[in-house]
Amino acid sequence: MPLTCHECGAPDCRDLFDRLLALEFSRPDPYGRLHAVTVPAWFLQHPDRAPDGTRTDHWAILQRWQRDGLDGVHDVVRRRRVANRRGQDLPTAMDEPVPPVPDQVSTAVTIGHVAGPGRDFPEIGHAARVADWLRAIATS
């Protein structure tokens, strides 16, 4: 019997997230290229499990995605890698003020939707299902 997540309401949520991460690490397209947005999305819906101090940045990343798409987020990731290598402060995800993070983001769309009806993250439509998830959270 599936366990319903007490934070987002999706059945077997943590198991689905682990399976998604495994796909992201093994298959760049269409999964791995979305890793920079799926991790913030999942943690925003799971504040009890999010590493301390990451919520504001995760929120800013989704705001950046909403404004500039995946290319904008990948630009942040690239600039952070360079700054990290040089021992510099990491650039912020947004170059303009970001609305405050809501205490509770929308859980109208969860990782259960991203997994699809067979709960196996089918390749076809994956990016669109992730976009549904991100949009629901970013507009909370």
First-to-final CA distance of the chain: 30
- Residue 31 sits at φ, ψ, to 5 deg, of -90, -60
Span from 7-15, 70-78, 96-104, 127-135 in contact with Zn ion (CB under 5 A): 7-15
The site string for Zn ion over 8-27 (x = CB under 5 A, - otherwise) reads: x-x--x--------------
* 17 vs 64, beta carbon nearer Zn ion: 17
* 8 vs 137, beta carbon nearer Zn ion: 8
In whole angstroms, the minimum distance from the beta carbon of 50 to Zn ion comes to 12
- Is residue 5 at the binding interface for Zn ion, with CB under 5 A as the rule? yes
Instruction: Give the list of residues 6+ apart from residue 11 with CB closer than 8 angstroms, or none.
Output: 2, 3, 4, 5, 112
Residue 2 CA to chain centroid, in angstroms? 23
